[in-house]
Amino acid sequence: MSAAGWTPAWLWLAVVASGLYHGINPGMGWPLAVSAGLMERSSRALLTALCPLAAGHFLAMVVVILPFALLVAIVDWQHQIQIGASLLVIGFGIFRYIDRRHPRVLARIRPTQLGLWSFAVAIAHGAGLMLVPIYLGLCRVSDLNNGDQAAGVLMSANLGMAVLVAIVHATAMIVAGGCSALLVYRYLGLKFISRSWFNLDAVWALSLMLVGATALMLNLWQTS
């Protein structure tokens, strides 16, 4: 396979990897699924709680990516949009690194509203922004023949890609989160969480900056 042929594969791998990363992060909600299972004393309750968590995360991804899906239809401004998106991700990563506090308003959402909670957390922590540079790379608008691509067809392709990226990412996220929740619920117990709780806020912020910086360097290299 040529180097060009590997590019989409690596980008899809990044979509899956970011989903696994988000899923393992306890801040994305899998401890709430453990709590639901313990309260109901049923693993079925745990699995049921994962559904609204996945739905909320998916909707957050779509809400963040869709505006860029509409923008990349403007082929002449593709590189400027990609550079702007990269700078946005870097800036938000710096903000999250400086201010690592969990938004207080999210603590007021009832545990029964897991879908809304998952959506709000993903938006507040910039989970969707992490996908934007990857999504823009997958669109590969510059490779399309402008003369053969009507604006409506191009926009439909971009919207379809946005939804597909969100689906793949959310699936990987909930698989990783679900496995973590089941592992704690069945084998490790709550003592494991209290003794070995890990805070990923700094890692999360740095990863946002890394994704944005990587996308920025690639775009600057392509335009040079």
Domain boundaries, the chain: 3-223
Residue pair 100/202 in contact (Cβ under 8 Å)? The answer is: yes
Distance CA 112, CA 114 (A): 6
Distance CA 58, CA 70 (A): 18
Residue pair 46/185 in contact (Cβ under 8 Å)? The answer is: yes
Which residues of the chain carry a pLDDT beneath 70? 1-6, 72-79, 100-112, 140-156, 190-201, 219, 222-224
The length of the chain in residues reads 224
The pLDDT tens digits of the residues spanning 81-122 come to 777 777 888 887 787 778 756 555 545 556 567 888 889 888
Question: How many CB atoms lie under 10 A from the CB of residue 191?
Answer: 9
**Strands annotated E in 23-127:** none
